Amino acid sequence: MTKKRNIVVKIGSALLANQELLTPRYGFLQRLLEDVAQLRSEGNDVILCSSGSVALGLRIIGETPESAGISDKQAAAACGMPLLLNAYKQVGHEFGFEIAQVLLTLGDFEDHRRFLNTRNTVARLLEAGVMPIVNENDTITTEEIRVGDNDRLAAKVAQMVGATDFIILTGVDGLYDRNPDDPDAVFIPEVTDVGPYMDATKGKSTLGTGGMETKLQAANMAQEAGVTTWIAQGEVDRPLSTVLNGSRRATKVIPNPNPLSGWDSWIANRLQMAGSLVISEDTANAIANDNRPIRRDDIVSMDGDFSRGDVLHIYDSKGIERARGLSDFTSEELRVLTNNPDTDAEQLLGYKTRGEIIRGNNLVMLETRHLLWDAPPAITEA
């Protein structure tokens, strides 16, 4: 018997909503869920991460993809979500299974307790034979607390559930070395390092939020967690199984053979960081070799206001981000410690401490090919 797969599928808005009428595309949903039903009957778990709520809700509030601003899209998402889920429910019933809605925000991934709680709920749904359909809760998210695109949201779900496969269904058959409309564009069947393709893939889709760039960022996130990513055209019969059995063209992004543990992956793959530290290159290399903690006298400078337990970026003196880790101190405490290097930590803080700023097991070195998700904050002297 072949090993059971745990498959996360990301479906873009253009596949789900008719471009002109902004209504659900039932033909696509039937082809998709027929395939899902088949995969489920073979013992595989399938989780969908579906876009489409904004596109399907726009007409209800009298907007178009071109006219809508942020608050229009948030209102549209509230209108479109029940339409989208109703379409999934109807078609799911045709193929004999139930679906469930899981609406998430960035905070559900960034806060470790909420992360674990979400993971448990998704596991419980799968155990009950119900297919979870995940989307970002656009209606209540603001710019600062959004994942922003469903490519990365789906990658986070793949990482959270320890997926074997992450399939991104889209309007093109995979990655090209430049804009696929260019007659000289070359198809890339397999990728280990997505970095060199990032520049060639800028630009966005009309209905959804992402483009090839966010797909590659998502694939990078998944590969670091040991998940195989497939980028494939969604507009075909059996859109998932034909990718998994290799019978049609798709781009495969190879997983890292030494994936991060769940805890390390949670630390490394956060989208929001509370602050940053700069350490010397020698210290960074020593930490990479020995997995030793970051100590007070390693810190060259720091930035940000953070609490104990917040995740920090760790840069070397060349400005290259080398690691991420959980701070054992607040930024205020850390400033006191670094501004008074010759005074005993216990005396400065008034409590007993080992003086390790970031412990070894809360510190993750970033692979050179790990992509950065956000612009690093300005670094000031401590």
Output 80 or 304, the one with its CB closest to ligand GLU. 80
Q: Are 44 and 241 in contact (CB under 8 A)?
A: no
Distance CA 310, CA 294 (A): 15
Output 49 or 273, the one with its CB closest to ligand GLU. 49
Tell how strand 299-303 and strand 294-295 pair up. Answer: unpaired
The least CB distance from residue 274 to ligand GLU, in Å, is 25
Distance CA 322, CA 279 (A): 9
Q: Which residue has the tokens 């990078």?
A: 220
Q: Does 54 bind ligand GLU (CB under 6 A)?
A: yes
Q: Does 63 bind ligand GLU (CB under 6 A)?
A: no
Q: Does 239 bind ligand GLU (CB under 6 A)?
A: no
Q: Which residues within the stretch 64-103 sit at the binding site for ligand GLU (CB under 6 A)?
A: 77
Output 51 or 283, the one with its CB closest to ligand GLU. 51
Q: Does 219 bind ligand GLU (CB under 6 A)?
A: no
Tokens of 319: 């400005």
- One of 6, 7, 24, 53 touching ligand GLU (CB under 6 A): 53
Give the Cβ contact number of residue 79 at 10 Å: 17
Stretch that binds ligand GLU, among 49-57, 180-188, 251-259, 338-346 (CB under 6 A): 49-57
Distance CA 57, CA 138 (A): 12
Distance CA 125, CA 115 (A): 16
- One of 35, 138, 298, 316 touching ligand GLU (CB under 6 A): 138
- One of 44, 74, 118, 209 touching ligand GLU (CB under 6 A): 209
The least CB distance from residue 151 to ligand GLU, in Å, is 6
- One of 44, 141, 150, 217 touching ligand GLU (CB under 6 A): 150
Q: Does 234 bind ligand GLU (CB under 6 A)?
A: no
Q: Does 228 bind ligand GLU (CB under 6 A)?
A: no
- One of 24, 52, 293, 325 touching ligand GLU (CB under 6 A): 52
Number of residues near ligand GLU (by CB under 6 A): 15
The least CB distance from residue 75 to ligand GLU, in Å, is 12
Distance CA 160, CA 121 (A): 12
Q: Does 6 bind ligand GLU (CB under 6 A)?
A: no
Stretch that binds ligand GLU, among 50-58, 99-107, 261-269, 302-310 (CB under 6 A): 50-58
Q: Does 269 bind ligand GLU (CB under 6 A)?
A: no
Q: Does 136 bind ligand GLU (CB under 6 A)?
A: yes
The least CB distance from residue 324 to ligand GLU, in Å, is 25
The least CB distance from residue 159 to ligand GLU, in Å, is 17
Q: Does 13 bind ligand GLU (CB under 6 A)?
A: yes
| Exposure letters 309-339 (e unless 16+ CB within 10 A, then b) | ebbbbbbbeeeebbbbbbbbbbbebbeebbe
Stretch that binds ligand GLU, among 204-212, 263-271, 352-360, 374-382 (CB under 6 A): 204-212
Stretch that binds ligand GLU, among 92-100, 108-116, 132-140, 279-287 (CB under 6 A): 132-140
Report which of 161, 113, 192 is spatially closest to residue 265, judged by C-alpha positions: 161
Q: Does 141 bind ligand GLU (CB under 6 A)?
A: no
Question: Which positions lie near ligand GLU, rule CB under 6 A?
Answer: 13, 51-55, 77, 135-136, 138, 149-150, 208-210
